[in-house]
Amino acid sequence: MKNTQNTENKIYPAILNCIPDGETMISNAESAIKETLIRAWDAYANFSKLIAGIYSLNYTNLTK
């Protein structure tokens, strides 16, 4: 029995090292969610600035 366990440990450590543990997976998911929210907020802010700029241009044209 010990021989099979030793050979398994010698054969599969590279595969086992590629699989992250639960904490790593959770932290990766959290950082991905945070990055997505930050990018969405930046896109919303830029879109708001664009709309405000278009509105101000139309307003200045209407007041001439």
The answer to whether residues 20 and 28 touch, using CB atoms and an 8 Å cutoff, is yes
Question: According to the model, what pLDDT value does residue 7 have?
Answer: 55
pLDDT in tens, 15-32: 666 777 778 888 889 999
| pTM tops 0.85, yes or no | no
Longest dimension (CA), the chain: 91
pLDDT of residue 1: 46
pLDDT in tens, the chain (64 residues): 455 555 555 656 666 667 777 788 888 899 999 999 999 999 999 999 999 999 988 877 776 6
Number of domains in the chain: 1
Q: What is the predicted pLDDT for the residue at 46?
A: 96
